[in-house]
Structure 1
Amino acid sequence: MIKSRAVVAPGRGKPVGVVSIDVPDPGPGEVRVRVQACGVCHTDLHYREGGINDEFPFLLGHEAAGVVEATGPGVTEVSEKDFVVLNWRAVCGDCRACRRGRPWYCFDTNNADQSMQLEDGTPLSPALGIGAFSERTLVHAGQCTRVDPAARPAVVSLLGCGVMAGVGAAINTGNVSRGDSVAVIGCGGVGDGSIAGAWLAGAARIIAVDTDPKKLEWAAEFGATHTINAAEADTVAEIRSLTGGNGADVVIDAVGRPSTFEQAFYARDLAGTLVLVGVPTPEMEIELPLLDVFGRGGAIRSSWYGDCLPSRDFPMLTDLYQQGRLPLEKFVSEEIALDEVEEAFAKMERGEVLRSVVKF
């Protein structure tokens, strides 16, 4: 057992605090990681607000990079001193998706068996099975992906969730290819990741949609060729106008609301693809004429974690960043201390940052 300073959400809607926790020595298949950097993701705020479940107290943080400090029995994936990015999809290799050669859909992903705890013995629920707003965290070995140790931790940590979800929504789920037209609705971290992914894939026209002029400026830095302020224009009409009246080949909804989903549905070309990567809340419903669903053809796809395979995608995207072909550093708005997470949530809600990153 080892002590660690960590950010814990004690109850629904209550401010987070920095406390001392106990991190167990790794057991079979487990790894203890010394965290070097962890991004502040909107999912962490959902946990704090009780929007995921009520299993408080939560150990927040999941977009993380660090160094393997200790490994448990049977661990072969990583070794001590390896530089890793953490992921929340440690594929099992044995579920029906894995057996069919589709491990990015794994239905039985692995997490550490032991619980990290408050000093009074109260078990902590780690966000997305990681809990990395902590000097050290305990994860399953499959949640660790080795990447180039020369990469900057504060930058590549963001591959652990939002950036990967966005890039993967374009490349893996949307299958964007050279010459395609792509529209992305919502230009936060995930949306800008989708824009960067579309640019990487060779899309000819990339249309960014948001209501915040600042976010539209950020989108242009990631490769958007056109921008639409949805507060001032009809999103569907503008996307059609920019695509010869046809609609985009791929439209990515990075917001996840009924209104944006409907816009994405009608803003795509006939036989085009709609990708939903923004996460809706349980009460949301969508109603569309079934004849339109049939008549427009194409595909409506949900993107889970960008349909990524961490062992394949994290090293590749890290290499692209190191080569100057993927501007991951532009996602980092600021580097903060562990006790500044609560203020980072406020900045996120005000739309002032793409990502605040806790640096240890």
Structure 2
Amino acid sequence: MAHQVRAVVARGKGAPVSLETIIVPDPGPGEALVKIEACGVCHTDLHYREGGINDEFPFLLGHEAAGVVESVGEGVTDVAPGDFVILNWRAVCGQCRACLRGRPWYCFSTHNAKQKMTLTDGTELSPALGIGAFAEKTLVAAGQCTKVDRAASAAAAGLLGCGVMAGIGAAINTGNVGRGDSVAVIGCGGVGAAAVVGSNLAGAAKIIAVDIDDAKLDTAKKLGATHTVNSKDADPVEAIRDLTGGFGADVVIEAVGRPETYKQAFYARDLAGTVVLVGVPTPEMKLELPLLDVFGRGGALKSSWYGDCLPSRDFPMLIDLYLQGRLDLDAFVTETIALDEVEKAFERMHRGDVLRSVVVL
């Protein structure tokens, strides 16, 4: 039996999103039907609406979500109806070359639901990141569901589905931040703020938050940053060096995704230090660096895909920390909104005055 539900759809490049009725099929083999409780408004959703990901309109937006499994298809054993789950967009296959080498967080063949959700006229929808969770219900591959403790707030838990996990993982998994390290985070929106939290969890001794917005820097300070730099008022490279004995930080996390801020990260790290790119660039952006500097400074230049997370490992662990009071996920929820307020949330995102708007159903 198909399900008619309300959902947020982007029909064309740059056009305002609309609240529409869509058709969600019952789960087939390997699939799960999830009743959505909460979904964060992520910048990636705006990228989809603007045509910055691809042009496979219409898109069913939303992907940073938590909810309850309503039903499962044939062969599904890892989750069951009634399970409270966080949705993820890297459901590992277990068979690709990355998985077989014991690096499933790099899985090159992640699973999505095979059946299509549609508009009422039969037009197939492209779900954002294979999820599409600005909807009362969505259909996903069962591997995209990670069961966590039901005691967690859905609004907070869902944020681990993308931005918060990306930032925490950029610090802990990709950057390998360790006890006593110095870390600089360039860009303190939702992902950068999460990188501050991740660095704090990892035991960094010095965490330098860099942004052009004092409000974001104040939030970063509350989340664990030991120092802040407003890069409108000071050269961030020199400021980071000044705060690290003239050397630069052990790990610099770039959470903006622009060539100019990446260069700042490159030159703000210590010799043999690590740069982590977790900000998402656009296709036309180019980076130019002297190859001798790349060689001479040593260390590592890394990109962080989804915080190099393994959802089955990382989501339950982080929810446990949240329930113990050691990880303040609630601090990332700036506001809760209704399903028909996503377009307004995009406007607030443009102004930069939210960490996360979260749709609560």
The residue number in structure 2 matching 1:172 is: 173
Q: Percent same amino acid at aligned positions?
A: 74
**Alignment of structure 1 residues 93-242 onto 2, 5 Å:** 93-242=94-243
Shift in Å, 1:77: 1.2
What secondary structure, in the 3-state scheme, does the structure 2 residue paired with 1:184 have? strand
Aligned twin of 2:82: 81
Question: CA–CA distance in 2 between the matches of 1:287 and 1:6?
Answer: 42
Deviation string, structure 1 residues 263-310 (Cα, Å, up to 9, x no partner): 000000000000000011111111111111111000000000000000
1:48-80 Cα distance to aligned partner (Å, 9 max, x none) = 000000000000000000000000000011000
Paired residue type of 1:227: T
Partner of 2:53: 52
Aligned to 1:30: 31
- Letter of the 1:307 counterpart: D
Q: Classify the secondary structure of the residue corresponding to 1:227.
A: strand
1:12-51 deviations in whole A, cap 9, x for unaligned? 0000010000000000000000000000000000000000
Match of 2:285 in 1: 284
Amino acid at match of 1:336: I
SS at match of 2:334: strand
After TM superposition, the score normalised by the length of structure 1 is 1.00
Aligned ranges 1:243-254 → 2 under 5 Å: 243-254=244-255
- Cα separation, 1, equivalents of 2:262 and 2:189: 16
Shift of the alpha carbon at 1:221?
1.2
Q: Which residue of 2 aligns with 1:4?
A: 5
The corresponding residue for 1:325 is: 326
2:38 is paired with a residue whose SS is: strand
Q: Distance in 1 between matches of 2:48 and 2:292?
A: 38
Q: Does 1:299 align with 2:300?
A: yes
Alpha-carbon distance between aligned partners in 2 of 1:325 and 1:83, rounded to the nearest angstrom: 21
Aligned equivalents of 1:77 and 1:188: distance in 2? 34
User: How many residues are paired up?
Assistant: 360
The 2-side partners of 1:47 and 1:147 are apart by: 28
- Tell me the equivalent position of 1:16: 17
1:68 equivalenced with 2:69 (yes/no): yes
Q: Secondary structure of the equivalent of 1:264?
A: helix
Shift of 1:262: 0.3
- CA RMSD, 1 decimal: 0.4
2:234 is the counterpart of 1:265:
no
Task: Give the AA of the match of 2:60.
Answer: L
State how far apart, in whole Å, the 2-side matches of 1:70 and 1:18 are. Answer: 24
Cα offset, 1:199, TM superposition: 0.1
